[in-house]
Structure 1
Amino acid sequence: MANRITELFNIKYPLIQAGMIWASGWKLASAVSNEGGLGIIGAGSMYPKVLREHIQKCRKATNKPFAVNVPMLYPNLEEIMQIIIEEGVKIVFTSAGNPKTWTSHLQEKGITVVHVVSSVKFALKAEQAGVDAVVAEGFEAGGHNGRDETTTFTLIPMVREQINIPLIAAGGIATGKGMLAAMVLGADAVQVGSRFVASNEASSHQAFKQRVVEAKEGDTILTLKELAPVRLLKNKFFEEVTELYATNPTKEDLIKLLGRARAKKGMFEGDLEQGELEIGQIAGLINDIKPAAKIVQKIIEEFEQAKAEVASF
């Protein structure tokens, strides 16, 4: 399955595990990398010291390439980047910020840089900033999202028409058939998040994992656009958000309701009522919790089977 992405990252399969907050620690990243994909440590929910520990543990657990995802809204951003450089991480995925800020500096240190975008406009800006590849993420995705509500299968071909660098599709992909469809539309690889939340190695709370497995069509919604758009499972906290919107709230009202550490409360501590439960629409197709290696294997098997079926049409 060699292509531009497998060669860029030196991996077996064009399959990337998303760097999700409260889910993507060293155990998950190393398991995915060991199975031939690209595992990613999600720095967004880690203090600098914790991130360093995860990088070191991941390196001991795998001799394969792995990456770190860094939301550039991070308050300790310079310290985080310095740790990444000191620890010899070779691949960085940046998001939620201007790719110009760190791309050239990281590349000067021999680091491959990928930036996550939600529109053609930002894909072009990322290419102009010199990134090595982009992740184009549709609004089906879980967690923080673009405001435009462009679906993945609309976004991918539009981005493909406009950029020349490698393109990774994300948002609503959890199966081999979804992977094949995204690549037919122009992606060089796919990034999978929600499916890996429901894995044994994900650091998220078992109660949250089980809630993901139980989710059905229509159980998630994109909300809080005035702050930072986020896709959540419906629960008591979401009902409170809905009730507040009915009063025509100010941005300050929303910030007050959101409070601090709401995502940690839900996804890491397992508070299914008052926590933020960030997951993608594809949760409706996730029916079990199993080892990350088995997830990779199944996606690749489905991909090859679907490719053979399409060839016979």
Structure 2
Amino acid sequence: MKLQSRIPEILGIRYPVVQGAMSWMTDAAFVAAVSNAGGLGMLGPHAGQTANPTSNEEVIERMRAEIRKVKSLTGKPFAVPVMISENPALIVPMRDLIIEERVPVVLINVVLDADLFRAFKDAGIKIIYRALNPTVESAREAERLGADVVVATGFDEGGTLPDKEIGTFAVTTHIAQAVGIPVMSAGGIADLAGVRACFALGAEGVYIGTAFLATHENRMAANVKQMLVDCSADDLLLFRTHPAYYRSLPTELAKKMYEISENGGSRDETAKLMQGTVGMRKGMLEGDLAGGYISVGNGITQIKEIRSVQALIDDLMQDFAA
């Protein structure tokens, strides 16, 4: 089977696979490994860090340093999201940083804004648009504003889940039929069969997070990587929080949040226990299974081993191999 996609030419990469911008879980070495293996690596929030920043200025300078590290490790394209925290005051400084550092690709993951799109287009930066809650209307508006690629994210993903419980396959079909630019599927994709299914539904690429966590180059704690191999989607706990839902492997903290959610507790209660992404840092980066949570997607069922980034991409992209 030979699959076709416009995305490699648009983004300047070999394969139509983008590594997701996972909070705490990326650093320059990991991102460069993805890009060198033929995909598009992406720095995420708190890239390369082990502690929360103390100021907005520190957020920007940390990211600047990590961007420059990526450039020292690869000559291939990579990406940075324009929104790397819940603080909207950081959007303009991040925009300026991405342009100043000539980052090849930007992930726009904020409210659609014509000036923001125009700034990146004028700088010659390729734009991937990914809505938290994907709709036909937002995809069409992103296309009108100049997005090069749009991501259709389903409820099967890890991280912050959409507020509507629409699966990846359904949302892929919905969005792919509505726009003329290439669409990437996101959510629960972790093997070749998943990639083929997305393409059969109209996608031209895949945006993947969880499967990349189970790689040697990723900075996630070793005990948590082993949990990815040992567990399946049946083990995941889904709970209500802000802005909508999260799911986690069954840590002690996740069990508490799940119980609160199941017993009619408020989103405020679970959000307080999560401590924003602090709980994610404790669980996923530090391997603290008591005080942290482990946010992953439904695709963990397909994760059978910990391997290199190159091996993962070669496996996922078999249909594009020369």
Q: Which TM-score applies when normalising by structure 1?
A: 0.89
CA pair 224-165 structure 1, distance change in 2 beyond 3 A: same
2:137 and 2:66 mapped to 1: Cα distance?
Answer: 34
2:320 and 2:84 mapped to 1: Cα distance?
Answer: 36
Show CA shifts across 1:36-88 (max 9, x none): 11111113656322211221111111111111133365422222222211111
State the partner residue of 1:259: 275
Q: Does 1:294 align with 2:311?
A: yes
State the partner residue of 1:311: none
Quick check: 1:15–1:190 contact (8 Å CA) kept in 2? yes
Where do residues 58-137 of structure 1 align in structure 2 (5 Å cutoff)? 58-71=70-83, 73-75=85-87, 76-100=90-114, 102-117=116-131, 118-137=134-153
CA pair 105-222 structure 1, distance change in 2 beyond 3 A: farther
Residue 135 (structure 1) shift:
0.7
State the partner residue of 1:280: 297
Quick check: 2:44–2:84 contact (8 Å CA) kept in 1? no
Residue 225 (structure 1) shift:
4.3
CA pair 100-223 structure 1, distance change in 2 beyond 3 A: farther
The one-letter code sitting in structure 1 at the alignment partner of 2:297 is G
Quick check: 2:22–2:44 contact (8 Å CA) kept in 1? yes
Residue 246 (structure 1) shift:
5.0
State the partner residue of 1:211: 227
Structure 1: stretches of 5+ with no match in the other structure: 306-313
The one-letter code sitting in structure 1 at the alignment partner of 2:129 is H
Residue 192 (structure 1) shift:
1.5
State the partner residue of 2:69: 57
Quick check: 1:152–1:169 contact (8 Å CA) kept in 2? yes
The one-letter code sitting in structure 2 at the alignment partner of 1:158 is H
Of the three residues 138, 153, 156, the one matched with 2:169 is 153
Residue 208 (structure 1) shift:
1.9
1:7 and 1:304 mapped to 2: Cα distance?
Answer: 13
State the partner residue of 1:249: 265
Q: Does 1:189 align with 2:205?
A: yes
Of the three residues 168, 186, 191, the one matched with 1:170 is 186
Quick check: 1:2–1:13 contact (8 Å CA) kept in 2? no
Identity %: 30
Quick check: 1:114–1:134 contact (8 Å CA) kept in 2? yes
Q: Which TM-score applies when normalising by structure 2?
A: 0.87
Q: Which moved more, 1:250-259 or 1:275-284?
A: 250-259
Match of 1:136, SS?
Answer: strand
The one-letter code sitting in structure 1 at the alignment partner of 2:74 is T
Match of 1:172, SS?
Answer: coil
1:203 and 1:70 mapped to 2: Cα distance?
Answer: 22
State the partner residue of 2:5: 3
Of the three residues 38, 41, 44, the one matched with 1:39 is 41
2:249 and 2:99 mapped to 1: Cα distance?
Answer: 36
Match of 1:263, SS?
Answer: helix
Show CA shifts across 1:222-273 (max 9, x none): 3224434222222211221133235533443333323351111111111122
CA pair 56-186 structure 1, distance change in 2 beyond 3 A: same
1:149 and 1:222 mapped to 2: Cα distance?
Answer: 12
State the partner residue of 1:16: 18
Q: Which moved more, 1:89-98 or 1:145-154?
A: 89-98
CA pair 235-105 structure 1, distance change in 2 beyond 3 A: same
CA pair 290-197 structure 1, distance change in 2 beyond 3 A: same
CA pair 229-102 structure 1, distance change in 2 beyond 3 A: farther
State the partner residue of 1:310: none
Q: Does 1:139 align with 2:151?
A: no
Residue 101 (structure 1) shift:
5.8
Residue 134 (structure 1) shift:
0.6
Match of 2:314, SS?
Answer: helix
Quick check: 1:176–1:300 contact (8 Å CA) kept in 2? yes
Structure 2: stretches of 5+ with no match in the other structure: 50-58
1:246 and 1:16 mapped to 2: Cα distance?
Answer: 34
Moved over 6 A (4+): none
